[in-house]
Structures are given as C-alpha cells and as structure tokens.
Structure 1
C-alpha cells in the first residue's frame, strides 16, 4: 500500500480498500452527524456490512477506471476522505468529493488531498474538467473549491433529494489549463 504525505504535519492520503471497512465505519461513526449535514455518506454507511459494500463498490470503480476513493489520515487515524466519485476517461471529466470529521476541520487537509488527487487526474489520467458539486450552505467546501482555482458554473435548483427535502446544488469546476495556472501560483 502506498501513502502520500499531505505536508509536514504527518497527515497522509492513502487508498481506502474493502479490508478497511471496520476502520472506515469507526471513522464515519465519529463524524456521522457532522458529515451528514451536507453529505449522504453516513446514511449509506450504517454498519460493517454497508461499510464493506461501499468500499467494494469503489474497488470495482477503481478496477473499471471509473472512480477512486482515498482516506485522509492524521496522527495515524482515518479522519476524512477524498474521492473521484465519477471518472470518465473517454470524456476526460471527473467529479470530486470530500468529507472530514469535525476534529480536523480547518487544518487544510481537504485542500491538500484535493490538490494531489486532482493533479493526478489532470496530469496522469488526462482529465480536462473536474467538477465539485456542493450544497450552497456548505461554506467550507465552497472555500476549498475557490482555493483549488475552480469557477462556479451554476446552481441546479432543488436537484438533490436528501433526507426528505429538496436541496440546491452548486456546480464548480476547474479545467486543465486553469488547473495548471492555479498550481503554478501555489
């Protein structure tokens, strides 16, 4: 297994795999309420079986070259994740997503993880457009999109049914040429 450093504070980005279902479930349980404010993951990962099934689905996406999931570890503990929910090599598009436990918010972990994974998608896999779908109420996630050099493309009004209520979704994106410009500025 490989790990990529997320900087001098010891944080790492690693692939998440089905054999880590117990650790993944414990992580979701620690942040269930916080993560669930804007992310449906806690409603999907409810027990060990559903945790393993979720990670197996991403193992299958990885094998099919249609998605990836990575965990964010801080001080040896899984505290968040970053994924390419969709990866379409033919169309050269991807959709990225993230989540964190509340204990590590504000440390820049998502931004650092996003930079690694998006850079891999653009520079290694040839992705031209990376999208970031976010609730308009999720100011921290929108701030990450801005730090990544993304542009707000628009709002899909009441497009997402979540916990019995319709929610708007903002679509942010970065194109490969803009990514390279933003990357040079870091």
Structure 2
C-alpha cells in the first residue's frame, strides 16, 4: 500500500536555475545520456545498453516508485531550457523518520553545481514534508565528486560501512553522509 507521505511537491522545487519535477516520457534523452557514464548504470536501474523502449521503461519505474511508497524520483531540470539533466531520489528507510538520498547528473551537464543545487532544494522539503529526522546518502569511497556535493549541501561524513554495498557483483565499502533538521 502506498505511503501517503510520498507525494510530489505541490509545485516543482526550484531555485530559478533548476527545478525538480516528476519525470516525463520526453526526458528519455536524459536517460540515454546517463548511460554514457558507466558508473551510473552500475549503481542504478539506468539501462545499459540503452534503447528507447528501455529508456521509457526506466521513466515508468520512476513513476511507480511513488505509487508503491518506495520513494520519490524526480528529474533535475534546467529551468531556462526545460531539459532534464539528472535525477534526484528520496527513499524511506526501514527505520522510522529516516530517508535515503540518491542523485546523478548527466556527463555533459556536470561541473556547474547542479547536483549540489538539487540536493540543497530537496533537503528542507524532505525533512519537513516527509517528517524526517535524518536524511542520509551512501557513497563509494572513490567517488570524490559525490562526496563534495554532499559536503557542499550541508551533509556531514559519519563513517564508513565496510562491505556494505555491492558494485559489479563485488562487495564495496560505503561512506555514510547525513543531515538532520536544525535544532529549534
């Protein structure tokens, strides 16, 4: 049964440069470009190899995540062009009031601070609307760019979970970053 708390924001979250919104079938080119970075399909359900049919299936899976109560997957979109350039995902962990965060930006749009801007947009919304006491992200130790995104968005490194995730059928450590609501 879907979790009633998992509803898209009433209006897309935006800082004037980017917005976070529900995926559209027209965003399939973003999915194709995501697959050009071998790291993205390795840790997500982005299709590799890409076909238009598989790209649309990916978008439909993103819609079903909210319907199933699994989490909210939103496209990161450039406001001026309307072009989807990434994904931002908030999931509910099994622990009450704990959420998980995931994101990626397509290779041609990197280096512009878009991932950091997207994470900054979603954090206050997720903590408030989803009533989270903690939002966490797990990052492979060699993914320095993702660690920078999280630090720049106010997350703190908490520690290392050894052999916590599986990457290409091999165990890998994960660095745990989190953010909590400010004290009243």
TM-score (norm 1): 0.77
User: RMSD of the alignment, in Å?
Assistant: 2.7
Q: Is the 8 A contact 1:45 1:54 kept in 2?
A: no
Task: Give 1 or 2: higher helix fraction.
Answer: 1
Displacement of 1:28: 2.5
Displacement, 1:88? 4.8
Give yes or no for contact 1:129–1:175 (8 Å, CA) kept in 2: yes
Question: Where does residue 6 of structure 1 map in the other structure?
Answer: 15
- The Cα offsets for residues 21-78 of structure 1, whole Å up to 9 and x where unpaired, read as x633x22222323262663343578434444444334333323444101111222221
Q: Is contact 1:35-1:99 (8 Å) kept?
A: no
- In structure 1, stretches of 5+ residues that fail to align are 181-186
Aligned pair count reads 172
Instruction: Sort the Cα spacing of 1:89 and 1:162 in 2 relative to 1 into closer, same or farther, 3 A.
Output: closer
- TM-score normalized by structure 2? 0.78
Which of structure 1's runs of 4+ aligned residues deviate more than 4 A? none
Structure 2 residues without counterparts, runs of 5 or longer: 1-9
- Distance between the aligned counterparts of 2:49 and 2:23, measured in 1? 14
Structure 2 Cα separation of the partners of residues 88 and 133 of structure 1: 12
Instruction: Return the alpha-carbon distance in structure 1 between the equivalents of residues 173 and 152 of structure 2.
Output: 22
Tell me if the contact between 2:158 and 2:177 (Cα under 8 Å) persists in the aligned partners.
yes
- Correspondences of 1:132-147 after superposition (within 5 Å): 132-147=137-152
